[in-house]
Amino acid sequence: MDVKKTSRLSLVEQVTGQINELIKSGQWAVGYRLPPEPLLSEELGVSRNTLREAIRALVHSGLIVTKPGDGTYVISSSVLGVAIKRRLEESTLLETLEVRNALERETAALAALRRTKSEMQRIQSYLTVCEKAAKANDLESYVEADMALHKSIAEAAHNPLFLELYEHVTEYVHMSIGNMIALYEQLPHRKLVQAIHEKNSILAASAVDEYIEEFRKIIKSTMEE
Amino acid sequence: MDVKKTSRLSLVEQVTGQINELIKSGQWAVGYRLPPEPLLSEELGVSRNTLREAIRALVHSGLIVTKPGDGTYVISSSVLGVAIKRRLEESTLLETLEVRNALERETAALAALRRTKSEMQRIQSYLTVCEKAAKANDLESYVEADMALHKSIAEAAHNPLFLELYEHVTEYVHMSIGNMIALYEQLPHRKLVQAIHEKNSILAASAVDEYIEEFRKIIKSTMEE
DNA sequence: CACGATTTGTACGTATGTATG
DNA sequence: ACATACATACGTACAAATCGT
């Protein structure tokens, strides 16, 4: 019967896996407050002690936090994301940027080859928003549109693994540099979008190199201050 | 005094960190059998329960396994490595290869810019071994030399973060394709090493693209069989 | 084949700190 | 300021699994 299966995967591991799936699938999004332990343990059909153990495991892996007297909350949706973030914390910003560069260049090149028509439209529209925000000197909405633009490009590469890695690294970069980012030159962005529109992967890659170089200069000059 | 510090990092987390460090630093290498829990808990100055919880956390993150009635063994040296491996398991081989391609191209380009003289010598010597093995049709030592060659190139990029990501991804690729790899054309390898020797990063990148394309063809033809 | 030594797994009990209301 | 509830840490005892003799 199930005896061997049960012995192969302990009850705690099963519960951990279930909760992990709920978080990864987005049903329990970041910020979500988990049901109280007694209720949740009943729903999952396990004792409260077993559930508590599973929760501790997930806390250790960095997906959730427990606040005594309050509740437990989802703080991250991906174990890989947490692992990358922790590794990035012991690297310099320039090292991280080099990795991001490699990921971004490749996603851009692949997007140029694979983007669909509707994806192209999304990319174009984000570029427009981006340029408008830059013109209006609205830093906040610029950053937002900029991230959306790059994400839509990464999505057009049609490689979910790539997308995930790119997002995790990018998220960390944005976190660590905060808002010290400037409204830099928009020409490379246009160039990139144009290259993707023309399905020219080589041009797309070189456009990425161009604005990464711009970006690097800004970082370096900001660091010297 | 220490009161605030103690509240900031729980005992379990401290112990987890200590063991993690021992493993990461190589003092407890893969395959090592940990001291029995009673002994280890005494050495670390914590109760067995506390130690056990730390061990559970490390088990969950995939660094160690516990075998009832036997002992606890180290099975991996890097949490990031485990996280990447687990994520890669739910990706297709072609998706993974695209990521590896991006990482490898960039490390090659950076190596061309940054390699020292002694690093260049190492790279050259591995290439020689590689070519000899190919000539002798010795698949096993070819694979070994090939991996050493690429690793030495990645090391010459002088970016430890890049090196680590590259190694984890590559390791998984080699694991999943096993020995279905063939002794493919050596010309791109020579080209790559030559480009690094000349400190020509553009040529190095295109050389990588070239043999990755070769590799892709082999994979595809093998998959069709 | 079986026994005993070793080692991890589980359970319960207690004391102390700590956050919430 | 107090009380309740929860988290943390420790100790102890016993159960279950494994390995070698």
Rounded-to-integer distance, Cα A74 and Cα B2, Å = 30
Q: Are A72 and A55 in contact (CB under 8 A)?
A: yes
DSSP string, B85-129: HHHHTTS-HHHHHHHHHHHHHHHHHHHHHH--HHHHHHHHHHHHH
Rounded-to-integer distance, Cα B18 and Cα B95, Å = 36
Token representation of residue A12: 């705690």
Rounded-to-integer distance, Cα B110 and Cα B104, Å = 10
Question: A29 Cβ partners below 8 Å, 6+ apart?
Answer: A74, A77
Contacts of A98 in chain B (CB under 8 A): 106, 110, 159, 161-162
Q: Are B100 and B209 in contact (CB under 8 A)?
A: no
Is residue B164 helix, strand or coil? helix
pLDDT at A6: 36
CB contact under 8 A, B98 and A162: yes
Which one has a higher pLDDT value, A7 or B160? B160
Rounded-to-integer distance, Cα A52 and Cα A122, Å = 44
Model confidence band, residue B24 (pLDDT cutoffs 50, 70, 90): very high
Q: Are A113 and A201 in contact (CB under 8 A)?
A: yes
pLDDT (tens digit per residue) in B172-218 = 988 877 656 666 556 678 889 999 999 998 899 989 988 888 878 87
Q: What is the pTM of this model?
A: 0.86
Most confident by average pLDDT, A135-139, B8-12, B24-28: B24-28
CB contact under 8 A, B56 and A61: no
Rounded-to-integer distance, Cα B15 and Cα B11, Å = 6
Q: Which residues pair with B74 in a beta bridge?
A: B64
Q: Looking at the partner chain, which of B16, B98, B162 has a beta carbon nearest the beta carbon of A99?
A: B162
Q: Is residue B101 over pLDDT 60?
A: yes
pLDDT at B138: 83
Q: Looking at the partner chain, which of A53, A80, A103 has a beta carbon nearest the beta carbon of B87?
A: A80
Rounded-to-integer distance, Cα A175 and Cα A57, Å = 26
CB contact under 8 A, B87 and A16: no
Contacts of B99 in chain A (CB under 8 A): 106, 159, 161-162, 165
Closest chain A residue by Cα to residue B159: A95
Model confidence band, residue B6 (pLDDT cutoffs 50, 70, 90): very low
Low-confidence ranges of chain A (pLDDT < 70): 1-10, 69, 178-187, 225
Average pLDDT score over residue span B95-108: 93
Which one has a higher pLDDT value, A174 or B164? B164
Distances (CA, A) of B62 to A83, B12, B80, B169: 12, 17, 10, 17
Question: A188 Cβ partners below 8 Å, 6+ apart?
Answer: A207, A208, A210, A211, A214
Closest chain B residue by Cα to residue A13: B60
CB contact under 8 A, A83 and B79: yes
Q: Is residue B7 over pLDDT 60?
A: no
For chain B, give the percent of residues with pLDDT over 90. Answer: 64
- In whole numbers, what is the pLDDT of chain B averaged over residues? 88
Phi then psi for residue B40, to 5 deg, are: -65, -40
Model confidence band, residue B33 (pLDDT cutoffs 50, 70, 90): very high
B159 φψ region: left (φ > 0), alpha (ψ -120 to 50), beta (else): beta
Q: Could you tell me what percentage of chain B is helix, strand and coil, using 3-state DSSP and rounding each to the nearest 5?
A: 70, 5, 25
Rounded-to-integer distance, Cα A57 and Cα A69, Å = 20
Q: Is residue B1 over pLDDT 80?
A: no
pLDDT at A3: 34
Rounded-to-integer distance, Cα A116 and Cα A34, Å = 38
